[in-house]
Amino acid sequence: MSITLDQVTKRYQGSPVVNDVSLEVGEGEFYVLLGPSGSGKSTLLRAIAGLTGVDHGRIALHGNDVTHVSARQRGVGLVFQNYALFRHMTVGENIEFALKVRRMKSAERRKELLRLVALEGMDDRLPTQLSGGQQQRVAVARALAHKPPVLLLDEPFGALDAKIREELRRTIRQVQRELKITTVLVTHDQEEAFAMADRIGVMNLGRLLESGKPDELYARPATRFVATFLGAANLLLARQTEQGIRFGAAPVNARRVEKLEGGREQEVVAVLRPEEVELAPTRDNLRTNFIANGIVEEQVFTGAFERMRVRMADGAANAHIASPNANGGSNGSAALLDVTRTQHEQRLFPLSLGQSVAIGVRRIHVLPTPLSSYTAYGSDEASCERLSQHPLLVELASRMKTRIIKRNEAPLVACDAPASAPVSGVAVIAAGQKTADQLQWLLQNGAGEVLVLPAHSSPPQKVLIHWADDSARRSTLAVAASLLRHVAAEAVYVGILPEGSGGESQRPFGVRTLLDARSEAQAVHGLEMRTELRFGAAADELQRQLTESQDPMLILGVSDPAQLRGTFGTLFTSGATYPMMIVYRPSKDSEGAVE
């Protein structure tokens, strides 16, 4: 490997701006770090270059650990957005300066470098006599002068106009191929990432969410963020049943990442790309899976493609949670489906505004996230309303581009009658004296995830993860991975062994469990987390760590509702002061007891 990052974390004012990033960039690979402004890309690049230290983790270049090596000794080639050339020096002098600093022979090398970046014969020009694109070529040549081990480029095209940008892209790609130099390029522009990358890594909120080949990330994203950042995507809520994925009443073809967990029917989030939608006059004319009827509401011709928005009718409208141009939520625009059609499709079935259509889908991709939507539970209208406006809940739902439903359930008080409707998605309750009873009631009524919110809580900075036993491990990790993509918090899995000699002798076993948990989180759920081993009673240890942490949150997995009263009872008796996410999947043995 050319560049290896292992759980690299960089904090500013206590908050992680680069959060547990692990990454391997291969020899000669062109890797693009893509993400919105502020997601931590530049900070990560500076950490690789050694221009900033890290708070946690390791960095290796070509197998050598350079975590504590100075920027100068790492010697990576760097190019930034603003050209950073010496204004009073000619092109030739700018490059020679870089060579002299490294005591390298200059004349031949200079010629060679200028040829590489297609600036032959421009040695005597001053930067002011060059276009922006040409200045950036000089910057690239200079960065390569001393034959650096890797080349790092931070938004190098930012200040250039479209045509120049494309030329420079091509030059950089040619140079990179010719030299076979390992390169990391940072950009916020997905088109640029697609145009250049061997592999793309998408960052948000300091985390590296997913890493992969451009076409694979586009076709099979694992996260909402990547799905919507790498191009237009409609997000839909569907149901996963024994018979497959259902959208409203209609079954659809979908690629499901995981099997139906424990035979449990559940709500899932599906990605529908605008180009995967088929429109036809009637349902019978569709060649693909029918999902709903609709009406054309907006239409734009953009040359090669026709873009339109179709309002879905019937119950299908409820399934729709976000389209590329809507802000998500359950407002009116959410039932609008973004559709693009080729000219060929337009000729076969010309459409005009207001026309009725049958909507079919060629392909739907189901995300592996277990967090689909939120339902705020209260025992009266006012408490539902209050809870649905909880800042943390609103923030989570908005980042997840999903909706918050309100459900007024009187049994929340008595906790003995059945729910008026089955619980789907994440149930949300306000923390209080009756939290344990309410949890029990929700779990018995089919909830798999319950978010418990104290009236006042800041966005979490540290998320502790723990599960009662192995049967809750997988789902707890899945929930943790999904949640942690939407908050800027550090994640720590806490393994707890009984205190005393019995516990100590189990230390090797405990350590191995931690390592396994970390690998599983990484491999199966794309989550990087740190691990800690503690000894003592589980609830006490968790309580201790929660109290010690700044703005903590707890994700707790159980396989039997009784564990919430038994082992973890003390966490709920006093009314928690931090948010908690309870994950419940019945183990094979306890399943019968709950049903």
Residue of 43, 136, 375, 402 interacting with ligand ADP (CB under 6 A): 43
In terms of CB distance, is 42 or 383 closer to Mg ion? 42
Candidates 35-43, 104-112, 323-331, 455-463: pick the segment binding ligand ADP (CB under 6 A): 35-43
Q: Which residues of 567-594 are buried (b: 16+ CB within 10 A; e: fewer)?
A: bbeebbeeebebbbbbbbbbeeebbeee
Query: Can you give the three-state secondary structure of 425-444, one letter per residue?
Result: CEEEEECCCCHHHHHHHHHH
Residue of 28, 38, 262, 459 interacting with ligand ADP (CB under 6 A): 38
Residue of 2, 9, 42, 340 interacting with ligand ADP (CB under 6 A): 42
Contact 395, 457 (CB under 8 A): no
Residue of 8, 23, 35, 377 interacting with ligand ADP (CB under 6 A): 35
Give least dist CB 188 to ligand ADP, A. Answer: 7
Residue of 9, 19, 39, 228 interacting with ligand ADP (CB under 6 A): 39
Expressed in percent and rounded to 5, the helix, strand and coil fractions of the chain are: 35, 30, 35
**Could you tell me which residues come within 8 angstroms of residue 227 by beta carbon, excluding any fewer than 6 positions away?**
221, 233, 235, 271, 365, 367
Contact between 12 and ligand ADP by CB under 6 A: the answer reads yes
Tell me how far apart the alpha carbons of residues 505 and 508 are, in angstroms, rounded to a whole number.
Answer: 8
352 binds, among Mg ion, ligand ADP, none (CB under 5 to 8 A by kind): none
Residue of 5, 30, 31, 41 interacting with ligand ADP (CB under 6 A): 41
DSSP conformation class of 521? H
Handedness of CA 351, 354, 355, 356 (dihedral sign): positive
Give least dist CB 53 to ligand ADP, A. Answer: 11
Token pair 């960089």 in the structure block, residue:
10
Residue of 3, 5, 17, 564 interacting with ligand ADP (CB under 6 A): 17
DSSP per residue, 91-135: HHHHHHHHHHHTT---HHHHHHHHHHTT-TT-TT--GGGS-HHHH
Contact between 204 and ligand ADP by CB under 6 A: the answer reads no
**Could you tell me which residues come within 8 angstroms of residue 345 by beta carbon, excluding any fewer than 6 positions away?**
279, 306
In terms of CB distance, is 136 or 234 closer to ligand ADP? 136
Give least dist CB 462 to ligand ADP, A. Answer: 18
In terms of CB distance, is 203 or 478 closer to ligand ADP? 203
Tokens of residue 492, six digits: 């720590």
Tokens of residue 552, six digits: 């903590």
Handedness of CA 92, 95, 101, 106 (dihedral sign): negative
In terms of CB distance, is 40 or 370 closer to ligand ADP? 40
Give least dist CB 201 to Mg ion, A. Answer: 14
Candidates 36-44, 176-184, 233-241, 555-563: pick the segment binding ligand ADP (CB under 6 A): 36-44
39 binds, among Mg ion, ligand ADP, none (CB under 5 to 8 A by kind): ligand ADP
- What pairs with residue 199 in β-bridges? 31
Tell me how far apart the alpha carbons of residues 54 and 31 are, in angstroms, rounded to a whole number.
Answer: 21
Contact between 86 and ligand ADP by CB under 6 A: the answer reads no
In terms of CB distance, is 80 or 467 closer to Mg ion? 80
Candidates 41-49, 83-91, 210-218, 557-565: pick the segment binding ligand ADP (CB under 6 A): 41-49
- Which residues in the 33-52 window bind Mg ion by CB under 5 A? 42
Give least dist CB 231 to ligand ADP, A. Answer: 20
Candidates 39-47, 176-184, 298-306, 582-590: pick the segment binding ligand ADP (CB under 6 A): 39-47
E-strand stretches of 313-446: 320-322, 336-342, 356-361, 364-366, 374-378, 404-408, 426-430
Tell me how far apart the alpha carbons of residues 76 and 145 are, in angstroms, rounded to a whole number.
Answer: 11
435 binds, among Mg ion, ligand ADP, none (CB under 5 to 8 A by kind): none
Length of the chain: 595
Contact between 329 and ligand ADP by CB under 6 A: the answer reads no
Candidates 40-48, 138-146, 240-248, 322-330: pick the segment binding ligand ADP (CB under 6 A): 40-48
**Closest by CA position to 364, among listed 184, 235, 197, 456:** 235
Q: Contact positions toward ligand ADP, by CB under 6 A?
A: 12, 17, 35, 37-43
Residues at the site binding Mg ion, with contacts judged by CB under 5 A: 42
